[in-house]
Structure formats: structure tokens, C-alpha cells
Chain A
Amino acid sequence: MPEPLLHLSGVHTHIGPYHILHGVDFAVPAGELTMLLGRNGAGKTTTLRTIMGLWQASSGRIRFDGRDITASATPDIARSGIAYVPESMGIFTDLTVRENIVLAARSGPLDKTRLDWILGLFPALKRFWNLPAGNLSGGQKQMLAIARAIAEPRRLLLIDEPTKGLAPVMVRSMIEAFKALKAAGETILLVEQNFYAASALGDNVVVMDDGRIVHSGAMSELVADTALQQRLLGLSLDAHQ
């Protein structure tokens, strides 16, 4: 069995005096979309930030593409091929949409073909190309954050709650964009609270609670098992549709 692209084993994270992650173990296979689910405060965002080195794991090991990145600095982790879209989106509001995307292309000028593909995924960005990103709506900012993450090919995308606070129509267009990214073979670890969106996208699912992994497996299994949904998430897919 091939080694997964990302593998967390026994990861503990402390933030100040608080013990947030308690021995997190899971794997993200290459070329698949893995959903990380859990209620508020379960430790999903902390997990992503720990992978990115924004918060250091106090123990455990994080391997990416066969390399131990547990103690690596954030820029080195990003340069190893991981793109990160935080829950706050992290766009630079004083910079134009173009400048935001240019900045993400570390290796040089933007590739025209790739840019066309990105703007095809998020056509709304075209209209605001030369305007400060602060002018965008919440949904458009989320599109920009994801467009920035894929401005250049990356090995793994970490995306934190992209549909949070978005209107249903925007959620649907976001789901379509993720489907296109999946079709393009991107490996994605996606934090999501919207189970409807998660079930429509995920190949695999990891469920967290209180800083621990409480379930991991194929998304299809979780979708098919209403009782398991109730037990893990306190809701069923039906309730979200």
C-alpha cells in the first residue's frame, strides 16, 4: 500500500496552557479529497495550523511526501508544496485581486493557461481583477483565497471551512469548484461543518471531537449510515439538505 501524501501520527498541540490536540492520527491519500469534520472547538483548525507549522506540535510526527515536517518553519512547509486557506481567508485587502494571486506564484510570472483555468473556476474574480481585494464580497474573497492557493500547482491544499457564512448559491458554486479541483487530481484536506457540502465532495472523512480523531474512513460509508452520522456529528445528512 503506497504511503499517504500526508500522515499525522500521535500529534499533540498546546496553545499556551491549553492542550488542544490529543494524539491526532490520520492520513491523507494522494489525489483524493479528505474531509475533516467536527463540531466547533473540536480541533480542526488547530490541526491545519499545526500541519502548516503556524502552531508547533508539542509531540507526535507529521510526515508529508515521505519527509518529516513536524518541526519545519511555515515558509519551508509551504515551499514543500502545501497551500493553506485559513478560515479567515487571509487575503490581503489592500492588494488588488491580481496582486494577491501574483504573490502566491512564487516561481515567477503567472502561467497564462493556469490563470485561465483558475478564472474559469471563479469567473467573478475577473471583474475585480484590478480592484483592491477588500472590495470583494465574502464569497468572492473565499474564491480569491482558493484561487491564490492554486495559483501554482501544489501537492496538497489545506482549506478551512470555505463555505462558512456563504449564501446557498455561493456554497453550490464553491462545491462545483471543488469538484473541478478534484477532477484535476488535486489532493485536498478540507475542513467543513456543512455536512451536505462535505458529503457531496469527500472521498474520505475524518471526524474529530475534543482534539481527538473519533472516526476515519470512506465518506460513502458515513453517508450511508445515518445512525453513525447521528452519533458522530449529532445530525444526519437529511437534516442538512
Chain B
Amino acid sequence: MSDLTTDAAAPTDLPRAKTDWLPLLLIPVLALVALPFVGSPSTWVTLTVAGLAMGMMIFLMASGLTLVFGLMDIINFGHGVFISLGAYATLLVLGPLAGWASADSIGLNLSLLLLCILAAMAVTGIAGAVFERVIVRPVYGSHLKQILVTMGGLIVTEQLIHAIWGASPIPIPLPQSLRGAFVLGDIVMERYRVVAVAIGLVVFGGMQLILNRTRIGLLIRAGVENPEMVEALGYRIRRLFVSVFIAGSALAGLGGVMWAFYRQTLTAGMGMEVMVLVFIVIIIGGLGSVGGCFVGSILVALVANYVGFIEPKLALISNILVMALVLIWRPQGLFPVARR
């Protein structure tokens, strides 16, 4: 990737692209606007950190879908099943290593979380490859069929989860060190939420690095806009499609793990339950835009938290309201991606 990270062959002292800061400013503006309504600064910090953590979890679950939609033009209503599958994959690790969750060791606790994430990403990556080959590939180019067939895939896979792990909710323990909260004066920040923020930032940073600094990232961004031209340049877009679908599924699995430990309960429908939120954030962000998905996730989560505290009755419609306002402002989403 040296040819992308260096400008050795490039002219120098040239103007650079301007960053579109306006959507990014929405987050601090929203937080500041909420402060007087919330009243107490400590409550505001607690709500903000909780909102950021929730936003990161939504981002983890949604980022794969926005890439799949953007690049492959696939409306994958089955995406939620990868979230559930990722969550259930934690059982593969929690079964043999249950002691690590209750151990009084940060190292073991975090290792357990890492192993759960790796197991979930492996399981959902493989499941994604099968899902793409068996369910999605026959319906490329037909949105209606995609909706029907991926919904069918979701139902079948949920039933498979029931068949393997049973239909009853399964409680899972949060690793010992991640329980409780950091208390700074009047400010309370749940430890797990702080970890979720850290993981979300690492994943977002990694995705940005891959998308902007590597050839595969360039190909994905180019493929989102004009897949035919990518082929005409000599690249096999089909392989890229499959790779992105697998990566998107694995990211959903990662999100599933984080969501599972947050809820501390596994149900086969847990992925489907968050899909409305997931669709909202990828629409708000701009279909195919990872950066937009990140900002959209945080916006939706912060609004839900603030509104839930200030006027609980409005919490149910706050997400739809945010989406409507954003789409009135920018009909293609916060960071529109040029499309074919």
C-alpha cells in the first residue's frame, strides 16, 4: 500500500480536499443544546457517555450493512441474524472459559471479551460467506427479491439458532472487571460502556484506515460508485463483493457480542430487534458511507438518551424525528456517496 500512503511520484504543494465538517458539528451542537434541558452537568455527562457507548454499538452493528448496501446494492434484511449469531457465538467461548468471566483479573476478563469477539467474527464471517452464496447471489439486481429472500434467510437462521441453542433466553455474565462504573465526583460512567466506546473508536479508525489508505479500500469506495468501471480497470468486483459481505457479516457479529454483553441475555431475535435502528443510521449517514454511519449512530443514540431523560414519552419517535430532519436537510444523508 506504499503507493497510497506516499506521494513520492506526486506533485507537491497542491490544495487538498476540504472536509465536510457540518455534519460532524451536529454532535457537539446537539450535546450543548441538550445541556440546559438536562439541567445537571453530571447527569448530562452520564447521559452523553451512555449515548456515545450506545452509538458505538449501533455503529458496530450497522457499519457492515452500509458497506454491503453501498457496494453491492443489496438490501440485506437478514443482516440482523448475523448480530444474533455473533451474540450466540460468545457461548462457544463462555462455555469452556466461564471461569475467566468471574476471575478477578482485568487481563483474563479482557482476553475473554477479545476471544468472544474473534469467535463471533469467525462464525459470522463463515455464515456470511454461505449466506451470500446460497441466498444473496441468485438475487443480485432485484431489490424486491432481495428483501423477500433475505427475510426468509433471517427466519431460517433464527430457527437454526433455536434448534441449536434452544428457544429460551440465555443469560451471559459480564466479565468481572467490566461490571460496575467509574465514578468521578457526581459523574457515573459504566465501565462496559467506556470499553464499548473504545472498541467502537478502534473499529471506526481501522475501517477509515483501510478505506482511505489501502488499495482494497480504494476499490471498495470506487466499487460503491461504479462497479462496472472497476471491472473495466481489471479488478474482479465479484470477489470484492464476497469479501465485503463477509467483512460486513463479521462486523455485525462483533456488534452482536457487544450488544449481548450489554443486555447480558441472548435471544435469537435480538438482532432483528435493532434492525430498525440500524436502517435509520445508515439512511441518516448516507448509504455506503462508513463515516456517515458513525456520525448517524452517535446522533441517534445521543438523541434517544437526551429525549428519554427530558421527555420520555417522545423517546419512541425521537429516532424517526432525527431521520426526518436530517433527510430534509440532506436528502442523500449526512455524507452522500456518489452512486452509479
Contact = CB atoms under 8 A, between A and B. Distances in A.
B338 A127 contact: no
B273 interface: no
A103 B16 contact: no
The residue among A98, A103, A109 with the most chain B CB atoms within 10 A of its own CB is A103
B7 interface: yes
Interface stretch (A9-17, A28-36, A87-95, A218-226): A87-95
Interface string B197-222: 00000000000000000010011011
A176 interface: no
Contacts of A227: none
B221 A94 contact: yes
Interface size class of A (residues with CB under 8 A): 35 or more
Interface residues of B, number: 32
B233 A78 contact: yes
B229 A115 contact: no
B224 to A, nearest CB: 8
A127 B14 CA distance: 6
Contacts of A73: 231, 236
B9 interface: yes
Nearest to B289: A94
A115 B9 CA distance: 7
A99 B217 CA distance: 11
A84 B17 CA distance: 27
Contact of A90 (B3, B9, B17, B232): B232
B225 A94 contact: yes
B233 A103 contact: yes
A222 to B, nearest CB: 30
A134 interface: yes
A119 interface: yes
A52 B3 CA distance: 27
B8 interface: yes
Contact of A130 (B14, B215, B225): B14
A150 to B, nearest CB: 13
B28 interface: no
A132 B17 CA distance: 6
Contact of B11 (A91, A106, A111, A126): A126
A98 B10 contact: yes
Contacts of B226: 90, 92
B36 interface: no
A75 B225 contact: no
Nearest to B225: A92
B18 to A, nearest CB: 8
Given A95-B222, A112-B8, A127 B231 contact: no
Given A78-B234, A103-B218, A105-B3, A90 B11 contact: no
B40 interface: no
B4 A102 contact: yes
Contacts of A131: 15-17
A130 B232 contact: no
Interface string A42-77: 000000000010100000000000000000011100
B249 to A, nearest CB: 24
B103 to A, nearest CB: 47
Contact of A103 (B219, B228, B337): B219
B14 A108 contact: no
B137 to A, nearest CB: 16
A110 interface: yes
Contacts of B182: none
A127 B10 CA distance: 11
Contacts of A93: 225, 338
A78 B11 CA distance: 28
26 contacts: A54-B228, A54-B231, A75-B231, A78-B232, A86-B232, A90-B229, A91-B229, A92-B229, A92-B338, A93-B225, A94-B221, A95-B221, A95-B222, A95-B225, A96-B17, A98-B10, A102-B3, A104-B233, A106-B234, A106-B235, A109-B3, A112-B9, A126-B14, A129-B11, A129-B14, A132-B17
Interface of A: 52, 54, 73-75, 78-79, 84, 86, 90-96, 98-99, 102-106, 108-112, 115, 119, 126-132, 134, 148
Interface of B: 2-4, 7-11, 14-17, 215, 218-219, 221-222, 224-226, 228-237, 337-338
